[in-house]
């Protein structure tokens, strides 16, 4: 077996203790979704022990740091630091300013409390506020965290999410030759160790394009999970990635992939991972919701044979799977519909504004779910704020993926 990154032949054994002869590489288990963000699926078919080590340094550490503000709030999360020291982070917070909700940048947030906001100080100074210190203190006290900053303003997010897609494809048996041109690897000229890596994938944020997906995403009880779907559409190979039921993206791994089957699309595999070990709810809760809604849809004129196109697949009255590959634009009353490839539909039909609005809603859902000891802000409050305020954070969110 060969390593999919450095191409060296892997010795089918663990590296002997103290062995530093890196011209030889050994067996190693790589997590598909990074262990530090709760990924449990792992495989020894992906890379050697040396590449595993380098990938951690080159991509995983920085990628996983982005999620620290959430992870510290997830109950029973195994990878959480064992102390009560919630990590400090920055973010956005709102407070009431003359009957209007105003959002400011919070430089230091600790345990859902805003400790410092330079923007607030500046605003109050400029307004010539008397008793400045007291006013600031009061404002900070009543401030509510809208969302914690997750520093997506870097390339690590794209690299990390692309690596998940790439590894998942290898895990499912996709021939590396078909996807290797989205992954630029540089090896050291002497010892052939991995020294840099860059994924040049296309990454597209998910936005619901029909009533069914909208319902599922925004009007059902929020649960924490990761979800991966690898699929081919025509000659394109894509992976749908959903992290924390919030960060939802399509990653394109190939535009010239052919497995010889003459069908419109094919699913290679789907993976669901629930995040909380203390979840006493049924782990199939998500499937149940989909099933319930799917029945409703089929009852109201959605033809059984068409359900494949409607992103869920029902067999013998049981939900078999749920995909987001095609987005039907439907006119059922007239028996007409048009099937559009979901990612391209998002690119073509969704303007930035809509992506911002959806992204904001999803992100707020996650924060409301996690920030339990803090009176969370409501959607209505969020949307009562100025557009500029809302755009502030989504700008950050989208920056990292725009470049593709
Ligand atoms: Zn390797």
For 207-243, how does the pLDDT look when each residue is reduced to its tens digit (9 = 90+)? 988 777 888 888 887 888 899 999 999 999 999 999 9
Last residue of a domain, one of 142, 177, 199: 199
- Look at residue 95 in the predicted model and tell me its pLDDT: 83
Same structural domain, 53 and 186 = yes
Same structural domain, 20 and 169 = yes
**CA 2 – ligand 1 centroid, Å:** 8
Residue 138 inside a domain? The answer is no
Q: For residue 287, is pLDDT > 90?
A: no
Same structural domain, 52 and 167 = yes
Last residue of a domain, one of 349, 372, 389: 349
pLDDT tens digits, one per residue of 20-57: 999 999 999 999 999 989 898 999 999 999 999 999 99
Rounded-to-10 torsion of CA 135, 136, 138, 141: 170
Q: For residue 142, is pLDDT > 70?
A: yes
**CA 5 – ligand 1 centroid, Å:** 5
- Look at residue 356 in the predicted model and tell me its pLDDT: 77
Residue 189 inside a domain? The answer is yes
The answer to whether 47 and 347 have CB atoms below 8 angstroms apart is no
Residue 88 inside a domain? The answer is no
The answer to whether 254 and 24 have CB atoms below 8 angstroms apart is no
Same structural domain, 254 and 282 = yes
Q: Which residues does 3 contact at the CB level (< 8 Å), separation at least 6?
A: 9, 10, 25, 47, 48, 50, 51
Q: Which residues does 305 contact at the CB level (< 8 Å), separation at least 6?
A: none
Question: What is the number of structural domains in the chain?
Answer: 2
**CA 193 – ligand 1 centroid, Å:** 7
Last residue of a domain, one of 304, 319, 349: 349
**CA 226 – ligand 1 centroid, Å:** 27
Residue 161 inside a domain? The answer is yes
**CA 118 – ligand 1 centroid, Å:** 46
Highest mean pLDDT pick, 82-91, 145-154, 162-171, 269-278? 162-171
Write the DSSP assignment of 90-120 as a string of letters. EEEEEEEETTEEEEEEEEEEETTEEEE-HHH
- Look at residue 110 in the predicted model and tell me its pLDDT: 79
Q: How does the average pLDDT of the chain come out, rounded? A: 80
Same structural domain, 192 and 239 = no
Q: Which residues pair with 330 in a beta bridge?
A: 337
Residue 15 inside a domain? The answer is yes
Same structural domain, 279 and 333 = yes
380: confidence class by pLDDT, cuts 50, 70, 90: low
Same structural domain, 193 and 225 = no
Of the listed ranges 36-45, 52-61, 250-259, 390-399, the one predicted with least confidence: 390-399
**CA 299 – ligand 1 centroid, Å:** 52
Residue 107 inside a domain? The answer is no
Residue 168 inside a domain? The answer is yes
pTM: 0.78
- Name the residue range of residue 31's domain: 10-67+153-199
**CA 404 – ligand 1 centroid, Å:** 27
Same structural domain, 187 and 266 = no
Residue 146 inside a domain? The answer is no
The answer to whether 284 and 196 have CB atoms below 8 angstroms apart is no
**CA 186 – ligand 1 centroid, Å:** 12
The answer to whether 254 and 285 have CB atoms below 8 angstroms apart is no
Same structural domain, 228 and 327 = yes
Same structural domain, 168 and 271 = no
**CA 151 – ligand 1 centroid, Å:** 29
**CA 59 – ligand 1 centroid, Å:** 15
**CA 187 – ligand 1 centroid, Å:** 10
- Higher-scoring residue by pLDDT: 146, 114: 114
Q: For residues 252-267, give the mean pLDDT.
A: 92
**CA 237 – ligand 1 centroid, Å:** 24
């Amino acid at each position: 077996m060969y390593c999919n990154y450095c191409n060296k032949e892997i010795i089918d054994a663990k590296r002997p203790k103290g062995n530093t002869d890196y011209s030889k590489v050994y067996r190693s288990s790589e997590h598909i979704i990074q262990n530090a963000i709760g990924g449990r699926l792992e495989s020894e078919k992906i890379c050697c022990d040396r590449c595993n080590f380098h990938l951690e340094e080159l991509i995983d550490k920085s990628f996983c740091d982005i999620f620290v503000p959430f992870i510290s709030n997830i109950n029973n999360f195994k990878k959480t630091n064992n102390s009560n020291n919630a990590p400090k982070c920055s973010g956005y917070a709102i407070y009431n300013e003359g009957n209007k909700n105003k959002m400011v940048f919070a430089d230091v947030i600790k345990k859902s409390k805003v400790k410092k906001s330079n923007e607030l100080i500046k605003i109050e100074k400029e307004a010539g506020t008397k008793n400045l210190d007291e006013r600031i203190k009061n404002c900070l006290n009543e401030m509510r965290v809208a969302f914690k900053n997750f520093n997506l303003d870097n390339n690590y997010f794209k690299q990390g999410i692309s690596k998940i897609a790439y590894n998942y494809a290898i895990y499912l048996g996709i021939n590396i030759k078909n996807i290797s041109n989205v992954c630029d690897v540089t090896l050291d000229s002497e010892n052939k160790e991995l020294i840099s890596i860059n994924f040049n994938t296309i990454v597209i944020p998910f936005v619901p394009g029909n009533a069914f997906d909208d319902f599922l995403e925004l009007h059902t009880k929020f649960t924490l999970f990761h979800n991966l779907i690898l699929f081919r559409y025509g000659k394109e190979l894509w992976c749908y990635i959903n992290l924390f039921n919030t960060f939802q993206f399509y990653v394109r791994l190939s535009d010239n992939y052919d497995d010889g089957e003459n069908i419109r699309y094919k699913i290679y595999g789907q993976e669901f991972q629930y995040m909380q070990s203390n979840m006493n709810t049924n782990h199939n809760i998500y499937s149940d919701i989909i099933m319930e809604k799917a029945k409703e849809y089929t009852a109201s004129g959605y033809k059984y044979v068409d359900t494949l196109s409607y992103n869920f697949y029902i067999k013998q009255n049981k939900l078999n799977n749920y995909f987001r590959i095609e987005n039907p634009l439907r006119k059922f009353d007239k028996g007409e519909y048009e099937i559009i490839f979901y990612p391209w539909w998002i690119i073509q039909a969704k303007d930035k504004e809509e992506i911002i609005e959806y992204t904001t809603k999803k992100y707020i859902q996650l924060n409301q779910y996690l920030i339990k000891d803090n009176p969370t802000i409501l959607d209505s409050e969020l949307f009562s704020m100025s557009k500029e305020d809302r755009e502030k954070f989504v700008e950050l969110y989208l920056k990292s993926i725009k470049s593709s």
